[in-house]
Amino acid sequence: MRIDVFTLFPGLVDGFCSDSLLGKARDNDLLDLRLHDPRDHTSDVHRTVDDAPFGGGAGMLMKPEPLFASVEAADPPRPLFLLGPGGRTFDQGMARELAELDGFSLLCGRYEGVDHRVRRHLVDDELSIGDVVLNGGEVAACLVVEAVVRLLPGAMGNAESPVTESFGASGLLEEPHFTRPADFRGWSVPDVLRSGDHARVARWRHAQALHRTIAARPDLIDARGGLTDDDRALLEEFPPHPYH
């Protein structure tokens, strides 16, 4: 997958995407990450990328010329997304959609954002990582790259993980997990997980995923069409395991 990122701070994105599983995905040619600095497409001696807003007001805006020139020179894979708090909220469903593509691109804003003509005439859509304001789009870009690339076949150690984890095929949050020791400071692992009865373990896990989702994210239960009769039976069979 090719992902092009346009940013005034390519080092931030490159550094984040060089370690751990993303770094491996790049080494294994699963991810072809290309970074472009619009500052390389300025023509003045100060390499200016920002200017004051028409009509006055606080802060500076990214000028259109270096952004258009940078994108046009790179001819990046489309869709090209502007990162911005006013965009469509990025979520796991969108990560799955993007993971089906051969590539896409991200444009990071800085200052008070970009000249509106960039939004209207250069990018294809706008993505937000949530109702929060960052100093720039770089952290948001890293978030999108990580969420998408980990879904590519071969990018993760365990191919099952994207199926069973939160927001996966079940539409539920994940159940609580435990590793050794079986008893830690008097807090012990549920007996069922050590019973060797795999069918019972699977039922316990599904019940706990349901309990947790009902308590923490009832909207996800609604989104999957409420509870089935099987779900209700499981909830009765297994009481909620405390997870707070």
Note the residues at the interface with ligand SAH (CB under 6 A). 83-86, 108-110, 112-114, 128-130, 132-134, 136-137, 140
- Residue facing ligand SAH at closest CB distance: 109
Return the number of other C-beta atoms located less than 10 Å from residue 110's C-beta.
Answer: 20
Q: Is 130 left (phi over 0), alpha (psi -120 to 50) or beta?
A: left
Residue 129 or 210 having the CB closest to ligand SAH:
129
Min dist. Cβ of residue 203 to ligand SAH (A): 40
Residue 10 or 113 having the CB closest to ligand SAH:
113
For residues 201 and 192, the answer to whether their CB atoms sit within 8 Å is yes
For residues 108 and 143, the answer to whether their CB atoms sit within 8 Å is no
Min dist. Cβ of residue 144 to ligand SAH (A): 9
Min dist. Cβ of residue 113 to ligand SAH (A): 4
Residues linked to residue 211 through DSSP beta bridges, in sequence order: none
Helix H or strand E encompassing 70 = helix 64-74
- The whole-angstrom separation of Cα 21 and Cα 236 is 40
State phi, psi for 40 to the nearest 5 degrees. -75, -5
Residue 129 or 172 having the CB closest to ligand SAH:
129
Min dist. Cβ of residue 35 to ligand SAH (A): 15
87 assigned binding-site residue: no
Residue 143 or 221 having the CB closest to ligand SAH:
143
State phi, psi for 185 to the nearest 5 degrees. 55, 35
Residue 56 or 186 having the CB closest to ligand SAH:
56
Q: Tell me the pairing of strands 61-62 and 103-108.
A: unpaired
Min dist. Cβ of residue 81 to ligand SAH (A): 9
Binding site for S-adenosyl-L-methionine: what residues are annotated? 109
Binding site: what residues are annotated? 109
